[in-house]
Structure 1
Amino acid sequence: MSHQAESSDSKSGKKDFSTAILERKKAANRLIVDEAVNDDNSVVSLHPATMEKLQLFRGDTILIKGKKRKDTVCIALADETCEEPKIRMNKVVRSNLKVRLGDVVSVHQCPDVKYGKRVHILPFDDTIEGLTGDLFDAYLKPYFLEAYRPVRKGDHFLVRGGMRSVEFKVVETDPGEYCVVAPDTEIFCEGEPVRREDEDRLDEVGYDDVGGVRKQMAQIRELVELPLRHPQLFKSIGVKPPKGILLYGPPGSGKTLIARAVANETGAFFFLINGPEIMSKLAGESESNLRKAFEEAEKNAPSIIFIDEIDSIAPKREKTHGSLRGELFLNS
């Protein structure tokens, strides 16, 4: 009896992956985004006590992780007026992290950022219309002069100069994805301006855009995200990862949204199959359509195949008129 109780206690004490996801927000390095007092693209402010907890010193370069697998590097400064569970950052940093005020980010030490040998930076086309003169001398040189700014490949930043602001994108960095722009770093700005991309695309949905299904999201992440991001774990213990999940619920409850969020957060290729559209009256054509979809997903592995209204592909013999719909969620 005592052995059974002990076994039960050890089971309840052991945390699974989904529980860890639910409790992640309690970690000391998880901070709430607040508006910056000092509008600097390279600086974030934290309370001195928070910096002490995270073993950070004034001027340290830190890695900040936001939504949709976005991260950036900034300089950490202490600010006693900043509340302890918060981190102050300006609009540019928030945009690079795909976060808004009140969202949660995680802060990590980043001691291995090297001085850059060279960086390639280009302006956005819509911010330089009608602008004449040398962009390097007018904007980039004064912006980076003796500032030792950390930059990340893919980040955007805004530089104010004269009567207008110009937005730039860090196209390439050497070495690595992060580096510090030092006085001897070569800054290249030759090339065609960057065309403005649509930042609000539907396929950029992330976990934080899905509301009201926190428990279900944690379970799905355990079943899908872990095998996609850490396949070696399953290989080492000889366990086959789950290959499919059936999501069911009324139309509009967020089944497709959840699948898109998982695909974006894990970096997997997303392939949507509409059940009724793939069906054909011609013999063998439906199977051929499905086979092509799976072959395409295999070429782009790791992939997530989402089959919408799977009941139309494999219906029950007796006709049913229920309001629930099923979606199959496969990862390969």
Structure 2
Amino acid sequence: MASGADSKGDDLSTAILKQKNRPNRLIVDEAINEDNSVVSLSQPKMDELQLFRGDTVLLKGKKRREAVCIVLSDDTCSDEKIRMNRVVRNNLRVRLGDVISIQPCPDVKYGKRIHVLPIDDTVEGITGNLFEVYLKPYFLEAYRPIRKGDIFLVRGGMRAVEFKVVETDPSPYCIVAPDTVIHCEGEPIKREDEEESLNEVGYDDIGGCRKQLAQIKEMVELPLRHPALFKAIGVKPPRGILLYGPPGTGKTLIARAVANETGAFFFLINGPEIMSKLAGESESNLRKAFEEAEKNAPAIIFIDELDAIAPKREKTSCSGRLMARWSGALYHSC
């Protein structure tokens, strides 16, 4: 029989690698209640998760997107499903039929102040006071939980206006109470800017690379998201990986997807652009890139077209000296 210490070590090393039944993972279904702050579960599922009506929960969707909502019971909802409206789904970057995770979030504090701004194309032609017509009635004694980055829809005055949560205090989420100060001053947010964030690439946007993605997740994502796991079992994670293949096969796309899914800072280095004819300048450029990434850790540095700066030995007489300098720069930067 294994000792307690051995079993603890085994649990640490395999807990996030094993496929297991997780009752907090639920299938997204259409909401009957159109409230932006509410999600619904069956009563048996709420009992299983030890949730009570009106509890605040943290939802996790795709691309590391999160939302905080109030949970209610719904007798018509299946045990394996969670009902949410389109606004919540968009904030989580999920569609009907996708899987999200849910967990209690009892430590959400009342907000001191929040800053929200409208999306520009939803306020065209509106001359009234946005706070009085839309925000005040929406938040009045509703005790709505919100998260920085959320977009919510408010109906009023024969129009529907979309607002984005720019900042919360405390951050990143809080409950809007009667004494929470709501700021809505500032230029409206451009729709195209918001669409860019919606179009961030994730794992689901990459097809035909399932085997490669599984390996990359193990070597890159696990160390970034669970560094304590590697420290506990005494294993040093890889410091870098080499993606090789013909142009257009998705190498840069995969790197961006990993950065978005892990929330890591992404720094793209174009091999030909960083090269310089001046002695020592290429190494200086590389070192600056690593210093910038270090300031924004955790970070992923992607060196594109590596063959431009590290050609085959037989193709150039100076490649040995060049690679020696580059190796030194990389060694001191890592």
Q: Which stretch of structure 1 is more off in the superposition, 215-224 or 84-93?
A: 215-224
TM-score (norm. length: structure 1): 0.80
Q: 1:293 aligns with which of 282, 289, 294?
A: 289
Alignment partner, residue 24 of structure 2: 29
Say if 1:42 and 1:126 are closer, same or farther in 2 by CA, change over 3 A: same
Q: 2:301 aligns with which of 285, 302, 305?
A: 305
**Structure 1 residues 76-87: aligned runs within 5 Å:** 76-87=71-82
- For residues 184 and 291 of structure 1, the distance between their equivalents in structure 2, rounded to whole angstroms, comes to 49
1:154 paired to 2:144? no
- The letter for the 2-side match of 1:104 is V
Q: 1:271 aligns with which of 250, 264, 267?
A: 267
Alignment partner, residue 47 of structure 1: 42
Say if 1:262 and 1:185 are closer, same or farther in 2 by CA, change over 3 A: same
C-alpha offsets along residues 154-180 of structure 1, whole Å, 9 cap, x if unaligned?
Answer: 211110112211111222323342222
Contact 2:13 2:229 in 1 (8 A): no
Shift of 1:32: 1.4
Q: 2:92 aligns with which of 94, 97, 100?
A: 97
- For residues 256 and 199 of structure 2, the distance between their equivalents in structure 1, rounded to whole angstroms, comes to 6
Report sequence identity in percent: 74
Shift of 1:141: 1.7
Contact 1:116 1:179 in 2 (8 A): yes
TM-score (norm. length: structure 2): 0.80
Contact 1:203 1:264 in 2 (8 A): no
Alignment partner, residue 178 of structure 1: 173
SS at 1:226 equivalent: helix
**Structure 1 residues 308-319: aligned runs within 5 Å:** 308-317=304-313
- The letter for the 2-side match of 1:308 is D
SS at 1:151 equivalent: strand
Shift of 1:194: 3.0
- For residues 243 and 156 of structure 2, the distance between their equivalents in structure 1, rounded to whole angstroms, comes to 52
Contact 2:13 2:233 in 1 (8 A): no
Say if 1:200 and 1:188 are closer, same or farther in 2 by CA, change over 3 A: closer
Alignment partner, residue 240 of structure 2: 244
- The letter for the 2-side match of 1:261 is A
Alignment partner, residue 325 of structure 1: none
- For residues 216 and 19 of structure 1, the distance between their equivalents in structure 2, rounded to whole angstroms, comes to 22
Q: 1:128 aligns with which of 113, 118, 123?
A: 123
Q: Which stretch of structure 1 is more off in the superposition, 221-230 or 140-149?
A: 221-230
1:228 paired to 2:228? no
SS at 2:40 equivalent: strand
Shift of 1:245: 0.9
Q: 1:255 aligns with which of 226, 251, 260?
A: 251
- The letter for the 1-side match of 2:309 is I
Alignment partner, residue 134 of structure 2: 139
- The letter for the 2-side match of 1:252 is G
- The letter for the 1-side match of 2:304 is D
Shift of 1:278: 4.2
- For residues 286 and 122 of structure 1, the distance between their equivalents in structure 2, rounded to whole angstroms, comes to 43
Alignment partner, residue 117 of structure 1: 112
- For residues 46 and 119 of structure 1, the distance between their equivalents in structure 2, rounded to whole angstroms, comes to 29
Alignment partner, residue 60 of structure 2: 65
Alignment partner, residue 325 of structure 2: none
- The letter for the 2-side match of 1:179 is C
Shift of 1:239: 4.5
How many equivalent residue pairs? 313
- For residues 222 and 178 of structure 2, the distance between their equivalents in structure 1, rounded to whole angstroms, comes to 42
Say if 1:203 and 1:19 are closer, same or farther in 2 by CA, change over 3 A: farther
- For residues 192 and 72 of structure 1, the distance between their equivalents in structure 2, rounded to whole angstroms, comes to 25
Say if 1:282 and 1:107 are closer, same or farther in 2 by CA, change over 3 A: same
Shift of 1:81: 2.0
Say if 1:215 and 1:304 are closer, same or farther in 2 by CA, change over 3 A: same
Contact 1:19 1:218 in 2 (8 A): no
CA RMSD of aligned residues (A): 3.3
Shift of 1:271: 1.9
Contact 1:273 1:307 in 2 (8 A): yes
Say if 1:16 and 1:179 are closer, same or farther in 2 by CA, change over 3 A: closer
Q: Which runs of 5+ in 1 are unaligned?
A: 320-329
Q: Which runs of 5+ in 2 are unaligned?
A: 316-330
| Higher-strand-fraction structure | 1
Contact 2:269 2:304 in 1 (8 A): yes
Say if 1:18 and 1:130 are closer, same or farther in 2 by CA, change over 3 A: farther
Shift of 1:215: 4.1
